[in-house]
């Protein structure tokens, strides 16, 4: 179902719009629905204003197949950037946590050297499970919290823009968003996990003699 099938804008080109899934490329644009209340039901009507001649703004208007292909590539790159910002935010939080742990170790070592208490792991008395260990609370500085907020702002903005682009119901644009999200996950969120293995495990494997039959 489509509306304004031959509506013109600017230079008079036809603007193709659709309320459902569509595969429009050249002259693809947006429809603007509104809802009018009646005594018995809600009737969906189209806005009396002409449709928007482009994606998100009038400057993003598709004149040819090349411009549409560039738009699909740009949308996919937006999805990649979304995954990149997500990874950067997570890595920055991990960096702050490592810094907090390092500061906690330094403070504990300083107290142990000053004789305020035994160093961690050198207590001769069994630890009582009912006694809670002292804890240190670290808070991000205003600059660190600002960086976290900016990363979240960029992530939220990109996600909202991609949501608006998906609401055009254009199959090519939606596929570009999905492919971009997959590429972003593949390149920007590569799983790396470190497992600490005792050296004695490798030593036993080396020292074991080889048993041959015969």
Query: What confidence score (pLDDT) does residue 212 get?
Result: 54
3-state SS string for 5-47: CCCEECCCEECECCCCCECCCCCECECCEEEEECCCCEEEEEC
Query: What confidence score (pLDDT) does residue 107 get?
Result: 87
Q: What is the pLDDT of residues 23-81, one digit of tens each?
A: 877 766 544 443 444 444 444 444 444 444 567 777 777 888 888 899 899 999 999 99
152/134 Cα distance (integer angstroms) = 32
Query: What confidence score (pLDDT) does residue 67 get?
Result: 84
Q: Does pLDDT of 194 surpass 90?
A: no
Q: What is the pLDDT of residues 88-139, one digit of tens each?
A: 999 999 999 999 999 988 888 888 887 655 555 444 455 555 556 677 888 9
Contacts of 148 (CB under 8 A, 6+ apart): 89, 92, 93, 140
* Angle, CA of 120, 125 and 126, to the nearest 5°: 90
Beta bridge partners of 165: none
Q: How many CA atoms lie within 13 A of 63 on its CB side?
A: 6
59/61 Cα distance (integer angstroms) = 6
Give the number of other Cβ atoms within 10 Å of residue 161's Cβ: 14
């Amino acid at each position: 179902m489509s509306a304004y099938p031959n509506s013109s804008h600017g230079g008079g080109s036809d603007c193709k719009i659709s309320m459902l899934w569509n595969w429009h490329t050249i002259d693809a644009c947006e429809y603007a629905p509104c809802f009018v209340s009646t005594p018995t039901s809600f009737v969906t009507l189209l806005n009396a204003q002409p449709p928007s001649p482009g994606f998100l703004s009038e400057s993003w208007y598709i004149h040819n197949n090349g411009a549409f292909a560039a738009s699909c590539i740009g949308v996919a790159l937006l999805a990649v950037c979304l995954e990149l910002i997500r990874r950067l935010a997570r890595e920055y939080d991990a960096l702050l946590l490592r810094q907090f742990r390092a500061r906690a170790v330094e403070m504990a070592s300083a107290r142990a050297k000053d004789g305020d208490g035994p160093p961690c792991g050198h207590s001769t008395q069994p630890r009582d499970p009912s006694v809670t260990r002292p804890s240190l609370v670290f808070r991000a500085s205003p600059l660190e919290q600002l960086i976290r907020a900016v990363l979240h702002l960029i992530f939220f903005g990109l996600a909202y823009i991609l949501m608006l682009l998906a609401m055009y119901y254009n199959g090519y644009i939606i596929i570009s968003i999905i492919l971009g999200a997959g590429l972003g996950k593949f390149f920007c969120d590569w799983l790396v996990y470190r497992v600490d293995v005792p050296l004695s495990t490798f030593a036993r494997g080396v020292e074991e003699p080889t048993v041959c039959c015969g």
